[in-house]
Each structure stands twice: as structure tokens, then as C-alpha cells.
Amino acid sequence: MKKTSLSGLDWKKGGGLLPAIVQDAKSGRVLMLGYMSPESLKRTLKTGRVTFFSRSRDKLWVKGETSGNGLKLRGISRDCDRDALLVLAEPKGPTCHTGAVSCFDAGETDFGFFALLEDIIESRRRDKPKGSYTASLFAAGVDRIAQKVGEEGVEVALAARGPKAKLHDEAADLLFHLAVLMRAKGSSLSEVAKELARRNKPFVKKSK
């Protein structure tokens, strides 16, 4: 779980409660908005199950305690004014009481699709469905998958001389096979994103 300092939270401004925005730790999609009290925050950190304070019922409630659609804590941080929380969580089932994935209408970001893609790839690796191209790649082994990544890389380079649509098509093939390779090696594209973020930290700090 990502650990961030939660010191100096301003509980007075909101009458003893802080708004807590819940975000899918994988896709980055905003799932819901709840409110936390000092006790619900303490309970969340202790149990790993996202717990809110219900303003209508005037008591603590664990998300999913009745529906089963809970939120597994992956990280939590405060904003710059220390009066709001951002909760990174792994949802178990739909988050909204209506049965929707999110309480908000907006879908996941384009980059958020990579998280869904990696889930699909993992399901193919695990379940090995008959006729699945992805499953056949895993069966062929890392060397074959790596070879495909190399082949697709060449295709991307060649496509760069043509129309954008062709480049997009070949780039999609490359990213797919790269995601399969990362999974075969027990890693993921998110680890690549973390490495890119690490490399660019000096630039980010300098540009502020």
C-alpha cells in the first residue's frame, strides 16, 4: 500500500469530517465521493477496508458491508490544504449503489484502459481458453513473446513512414505484445510508468 503522511489534517474546517475521493488504483477512474471522520480513517488504515462516516445515519459504514462491493485500500493521501483525502482502492464489483462501476458518468481515461487490458491478459494466462491467441503466446514462452515484440517494433518503425491510422494500428500491436511480455515476466506496464515517472522527477520539480 502506498504510504503518505497524513499529519496535520484540518478536521475543524468540515465540522469533523473530510471529503474522501475514491479512485481506482489501476485505471485511475474516479469511483465515488464519501466522507471520513478521524475514527473511520483510523479504521480504514487498520483494516485495509475503506470505511466512511455516514452523515445521514450518523455512524461509520464499511463500503460493501451489505452489498459485498467493497473497496480494498491501496493508498491514501491528503491534499495541499490538508482538508481532503484521495483514496486509491481496488474495487470489488461495482462501486455505485445503482450497479454502475462509478458514481460519476465519465468513463475511464484512455490510459486507464491499459489496466483493463492487463486484467484481460492475466485472465488469458490463468484460464488458458481454447483458441486464445494471448494464451498461445504464454504457452510459447518468453523467448517467442520477446521475438514478437521485436517484430512489432519493426512494424511500427516502418508504419511511421505512412498514414497515422497505420501507425496507430501497429503501435497498438506493439503495446499489446509488450504488455503480454511484461506479464510473462511477472511485471506490468504500470511498473514501466513508475520508471518513467522516476526518471522525470527532476524535470517535474524544476518546472513547478
113-207 CATH, one of 1.10.287.1080, 1.10.760.10, 3.40.50.2300, 1.10.8.60: 1.10.287.1080
- pLDDT value, residue 26: 83
Nearest to 70 by CA among 85, 50, 52: 50
- pLDDT value, residue 198: 87
List, for the chain, all residue ranges whose pLDDT scores fall below the cut of 70.
Answer: 1-5, 106-111, 202-208
- pLDDT value, residue 197: 84
**Predicted structure pTM score:** 0.63
As annotated, the residues of the chain forming the CATH 3.10.20.810 domain(s) are 18-91
- pLDDT value, residue 108: 56
As annotated, the residues of the chain forming the CATH 1.10.287.1080 domain(s) are 113-207
Q: Could you tell me which CATH number the domain at 18-91 has?
A: 3.10.20.810
- pLDDT value, residue 208: 47
- pLDDT value, residue 137: 97
